[in-house]
Structure formats: C-alpha cells, structure tokens
Amino acid sequence: MLKTVHIKTASLEDNGASASWLSNNKANIKTTVDGEALAKEIEKQGNLLIKDGYQILSILPITSQKIESHSLSATFTSGVIITAAKIN
C-alpha cells in the first residue's frame, strides 16, 4: 500500500522576512523558499510515516513558475511530495 504526503513550501516573506530580490511595489513574487522550515516539515512528516510503519520511497520537489506584470518571472519550489510504502 502506498501513501503520499504533500508539503506546501512557505517563502521567507510568508515567515516574516523582508521581501525577496524580485518583490517590489509593482510585483508580488515571493521566490526565496524557507529551506529551514521545509526541512523541518519533511523530517516531521517522514518520522510520522516511519512511525506508522511506512518506508519512504522518494521525496520529489514540485517546481512552479510565476509570471507577473512587467515581464518579471520566477521559478521556485512550491512544495514536495513524499511517497512511502507500507511495510508488512
């Protein structure tokens, strides 16, 4: 039996940091993923899966692109998907 977990990433701005290098008053692009928060959430969800008897098969990033006015664009990791299999 397989199980998947989706973790949505938060930007540094979402977590209270100052605006990223692409953000200005004409665009709303948040590009810098809070890597520390993402790593902690992956660890938390992975440990829960292991505790529930699953073996983690893969952790895959979800890459997204956002295009704003004035031709500004950014590609960023918008989340990750953890896939795990139940151990008998």
The domain locations on the chain are 2-86
Q: In this structure, are residues 15 and 37 in contact, taking their beta carbons and an 8 Å threshold?
A: yes
What single DSSP character describes residue 37?
A: H
Q: Is 44 exposed, middle or buried (0-12, 13-18, 19+ CB in 10 A)?
A: exposed
Q: What is the mean pLDDT of the chain?
A: 81
Q: In this structure, are residues 81 and 41 in contact, taking their beta carbons and an 8 Å threshold?
A: no
What local confidence, expressed as pLDDT, does residue 75 receive?
Answer: 76
**Chain segment 73-88, per-residue pLDDT in tens:** 777 788 999 999 999 8
Q: Average of pLDDT values for 21-30?
A: 52
| Phi and psi angles of residue 66, each rounded to the nearest 5 degrees, phi first | -125, 130
